Amino acid sequence: MHKLNEKAVDKVESYLKQAIPSKRSYNPSLHFAPPTGWLNDPNGLVYYKGQYHLFYQWNPYQPVWGPMHWGHAVSDDLLHWSHLPVALVPDEPYEAGSQGGCFSGSAIEHDGKLYLIYTASSQQDGQPIQVQCVAYSDDGVHFEKYPGNPVLTAPAPYDSHAFRDPKIWRHNGQFYMVCGAQHGDRGAALLFSSPDLFYWHFINCMACSDDVMGSMWECPDFFHLGEWDYLLFSPVDSSVHQNMYLSGRLDYHTGVFIWNTSGVLDWGMDFYAPQSFCDAGGRRIVIAWANRWEWMPWWKNWGPTAQQGWCGVMNIPRQLIACADGRLAAPPVRELMQAAWLLSRRSGLIVSPDDGLAMSAIPDGSAFMMRLSININASTADELLCRLFDTGAYYTDLRFSLQQKTLCIDMNHSDAWSYGCVECSFPQAASLDVMILFDGLLLEVFLNEGEVCLSNRIYPAPGLRQDRFCAIGGILCLDEISVYDFAVEVKSSLE
C-alpha cells in the first residue's frame, strides 16, 4: 500500500501552526471558512461514523486559488466545525503543476472504509489533463491514495482537459458516477458504473447542454428525491445561471436522463458548486461555495479577507425538499433554528409610509436572523424596503415589490467592494415568509421555507448601524417579525 506522503501532510500542518491569525474580521460563526488560505468547492460530503464530514478545495498557503489540496473538517450539527488534518495533498505526478492538484470529488462509505473519488489535474503542453483517482481510509482521517491511480480517463470523444468532479452513489448493488465534461462547446454529464470503485465502465452521456446551459458542467450531482431523479450542475459560460438542476428520470440501462423541469437552487451571486449527501436520518443536505469565479458576469473581486490571509466560505447547509411538480426547495437545516436565540418578537404590525419600523441594533460581528411574515392580501403598499446595515454611507437594500412579486437585493451601496443587484420572483400568495440570515460576510435570504433562496457576500462596515423597514405607496401589514442571534454554544430550540 502506498501511504499518503506524510512529509507533505506535515508541511501543511506545521505551516498552519504559524499561519493562523488570532483575530479575523468578517469571520462567520456558523458558516464554514478555512483556517487560513483559499477555499472553493465543498467535496466529499458524507455522514460517516456518527459525524458530518466536509472536505473542501483548499490552497493552505495563499488566499488565492493554487495547487489544490483537500481540507477536512467534521461537525455534529452542521453549524460548528472542527478542523482535521489535510486529507489530500497533490504529491503525485498525475496531480502536479501550478494549475494542477486534487480537484473536486465525492466520498462514499464501503465496507466500513471511507473512499474519496477525486479529479487529479496535471498539465501537458500547457493543457490540463484530468483523470479520476481514488483514496481511502479506515478512520476517516488519514487517507492513502490507490497505487493503481488513475482509475478513469476521459472516454472518446470527450476531452481530457475538461473531465472532472466525480460524484458517486449506489444503486441496485452497483456504484455509479457522474462526471462533468465538455462536448464541443456544450457542457455534458457522463455516467459510469463500477462493481468495486476501481474498475469503471462508461455507460452514456446522461444529459448535455442546450444553447443556454453552458460549455462545461462543473460539479454535477445526481440523486433521487421524492418522485424524481435530479441532476445538479454548475454551468461554465451560461448566459443565465450559475447553478441549475434538472428533474426527470434516469434510465440506468441506456444511461439517458430524460428531464422535464429545470430550476435554480439559489438566485444570488454567491452559490456555486453545490454538493449534496444523505445523512443517517435520510435527509438530503446540500452545501455550496458562497462565491463565484472571475470569469462570471457580476464577479466582484475576492473581498477584503484576503488581506488577513483567508478567502472563502460555504453557504449554510440546506435540506433539499422535492415538490410535487419536480421543483426543489432548500431551507436551512433545522439545526439552524435549534441554535437560535429569540431576541424579540412582535405581531400584528402595521407600517405606514410615514413611519418606518426601526429594528433594535444588532451587535457587530455576530450572526443574526430575522423572520418576517408579510400579509400581502391586507397590505396596500407597492413595496417593502428593508434597509440593512445602514451607517449613512453604506447600506444594503432588499426591495420586495408586492405588485410585481419580485425581490431585488441591491448591493451597490453595501461596502467598498460590492456592487450589482440580483432579482428574482416569488410566488403569488396571500402571505410571504422571509428569513434573512447574516453571518460575518454572507447574507442569505429564504422565501417561503426555501422555495426561493438568494446568497450574497457583502462586507458591512463595522460601527453603529441600523436596520429599518419602510412601506412605500401604502400600508404594510406584518403578521409577525422576530429577530434571533446565535450563541457560541448550541442552546435549546425556541420553536
311 binds ligand FRU (CB under 6 A): no
In the complex, what is the shortest distance from the CB of residue 273 to ligand FRU, in angstroms, rounded to a whole number? 4
Select 6 or 299, whichever has its Cβ closest to ligand FRU. 299
467 binds ligand FRU (CB under 6 A): no
Select 166 or 326, whichever has its Cβ closest to ligand FRU. 166
What HEC string does 262-312 produce?
Answer: EECCCCCCCCEEEEEEECCCCCEEEEEECCCCCCCCCCCCCCHHHHHCEEC
Going by the DSSP 8-state scheme, the letter that residue 173 receives in this structure is: T
SS3 161: coil
Question: In this structure, is the dihedral angle defined by the CA atoms of residues 373, 375, 379 and 382, taken in order, positive or negative?
Answer: positive
**In the set 37, 38, 39, 40, which binds ligand FRU (CB under 6 A)?**
40
**In the set 57, 182, 319, 414, which binds ligand FRU (CB under 6 A)?**
57
In the complex, what is the shortest distance from the CB of residue 55 to ligand FRU, in angstroms, rounded to a whole number? 12
In the complex, what is the shortest distance from the CB of residue 250 to ligand FRU, in angstroms, rounded to a whole number? 22
Select 272 or 394, whichever has its Cβ closest to ligand FRU. 272
**Contact yes or no for 145/92 (Cβ under 8 A):** yes
Select 115 or 394, whichever has its Cβ closest to ligand FRU. 115
Cβ-closest residue to ligand FRU?
A: 103
In the complex, what is the shortest distance from the CB of residue 59 to ligand FRU, in angstroms, rounded to a whole number? 9
Total residues in contact with ligand FRU, by rule CB under 6 A: 13
Going by the DSSP 8-state scheme, the letter that residue 313 receives in this structure is: -
Stretch 77-116: interaction string toward ligand FRU, x if CB under 6 A: --------------------------xx------------
Residue 23: all three cell numbers together: 483575530
Residues in Cβ contact with 304 at an 8 Å cutoff, skipping those fewer than 6 apart: 25, 26, 416, 417, 459
Select 97 or 226, whichever has its Cβ closest to ligand FRU. 97
From 368, 318, 363, select the one nearest 342 (Cα to Cα). Answer: 368
482 binds ligand FRU (CB under 6 A): no
414 binds ligand FRU (CB under 6 A): no
152 binds ligand FRU (CB under 6 A): no
**In the set 165, 335, 433, 451, which binds ligand FRU (CB under 6 A)?**
165
Residue with cell 440501462: 253
**Contact yes or no for 90/100 (Cβ under 8 A):** yes
**In the set 92, 95, 218, 467, which binds ligand FRU (CB under 6 A)?**
218
Q: How far apart are CA 414 and CA 270, in angstroms?
A: 15
In the complex, what is the shortest distance from the CB of residue 102 to ligand FRU, in angstroms, rounded to a whole number? 9
Could you give the residue ranges of the DSSP H alpha helices within 315-394?
Answer: 335-338
243 binds ligand FRU (CB under 6 A): no
Q: How far apart are CA 128 and CA 101, in angstroms?
A: 11
**In the set 34, 42, 56, 119, which binds ligand FRU (CB under 6 A)?**
119
Stretch 356-395: interaction string toward ligand FRU, x if CB under 6 A: ----------------------------------------
Q: How far apart are CA 56 and CA 273, in angstroms?
A: 11
Stretch 261-280: interaction string toward ligand FRU, x if CB under 6 A: -----------xx-------
Give the residues across from 134 on adjacent strands: 117
**In the set 32, 41, 400, 452, which binds ligand FRU (CB under 6 A)?**
41
177 binds ligand FRU (CB under 6 A): no
**Contact yes or no for 324/288 (Cβ under 8 A):** no
In the complex, what is the shortest distance from the CB of residue 57 to ligand FRU, in angstroms, rounded to a whole number? 4
Going by the DSSP 8-state scheme, the letter that residue 25 receives in this structure is: T
Residue among 41, 165, 415, 439 flagged as catalytic: 41
178 binds ligand FRU (CB under 6 A): no
Task: Calculate the alpha carbon distances from 126 to 89, 197, 495 in Å.
Answer: 22, 30, 56
Q: How far apart are CA 279 and CA 47, in angstroms?
A: 5
The identity of residue 221, as a single letter, is: D
Q: What are phi and psi of 197, to 5 degrees?
A: 80, -5
Residue with cell 495547487: 67
In the complex, what is the shortest distance from the CB of residue 1 to ligand FRU, in angstroms, rounded to a whole number? 26
Select 57 or 182, whichever has its Cβ closest to ligand FRU. 57
Q: How far apart are CA 432 and CA 311, in angstroms?
A: 34
219 binds ligand FRU (CB under 6 A): yes
41 in active site: yes
207 binds ligand FRU (CB under 6 A): no
Phi/psi region, residue 243 (left: phi>0; alpha: psi -120 to 50; beta: rest), is beta
From 270, 412, 390, 367, select the one nearest 26 (Cα to Cα). Answer: 367
Select 310 or 469, whichever has its Cβ closest to ligand FRU. 310
Q: Which residues are catalytic?
A: 41
Binding residues (CB under 6 A) for ligand FRU: these are 40-41, 57, 68, 103-104, 119, 164-165, 218-219, 272-273
